[in-house]
Amino acid sequence: MTSCQIDRSATVPALSLDDERAVDRIVQAMSRARRLLFITGAGMSADSGLPTYRGRDGIYRAQQTTPHGFSIEQALSGPMLRTRPEITWHYLLELEKTSRHAAPNRGHYVLAEMDGYFDAVWVLTQNVDGLHQRAGSRNVLDVHGSLHALECMRCGQQTTTPDYSKLTLPPRCSECEGPIRPQVVLFEEELPYDKFSRLWYEFGAGFDLIFSIGTSSMFEYIVEPVRVGRQMGITTVEINPETTTISSEVDIKIGAGAATVLASIWERYLTW
């Protein structure tokens, strides 16, 4: 099976009758669509064995105060990385360990396969696990960066690493002994202007469907594309087992897991 193919022999958990009807509505809209936008959060990777962050039993919710006496937002912040890198790297290592042996799930592969069926499929993801890219999606805006891309904070040397197992923490640059950081957006740091600029450029070209998948939708920059899209008359969909800030605002809401729903949507679309 190639990276963009789906194992269609796998058993897909049954959806509720309401969710089945919602899938039909989505497939009908997709049959007329040429450009799709998917906004994904940690729930997208849940079926790959990765924990969610702020959802039910999420790692941020379960660990309100870290053993170091800081909130997780403080520990994983830009200021903490600059002043106490050993603390930030302790929690970066925890995040990396959760994804070390993860592989793309059926949901990731569905989005990748869609590239060949529509004029444009864009993925705006909060995830730093790189699973969308590994599944084969071409147009990925990873607005929080990647845990596997490293950069020296002194000389700027950039490297990649498959995992952190061989790093001495906090790591130092092999060229100048400066401190190294992953190319991710930490708390209290600015989001990448170029990636959001590209997102709104693509909005100018138009989208026919906008999906919000597996994100708690707590940040305005994640919510805004959904709200703007609906104001423009674009059909909006949320796929999330939990109720979020946008659940009452989207056109179609499915309260089930991402991989299950996306597999059902895609199988039905291919036989439409």
Active centre residues (catalytic): 144
How remote is the C-alpha of 167 from its chain's centroid? 25
Contact predicate 164/96, CB 8 Å: yes
Nearest-angstrom CA–CA distance, 48 and 56: 17
- 94 is written with which tokens? 């925890």
Beta pairing partners, 210:
37, 236
H helices of the chain, in order, are 17-31, 59-62, 72-75, 78-83, 85-99, 106-114, 131-135, 193-205, 220-231, 258-270
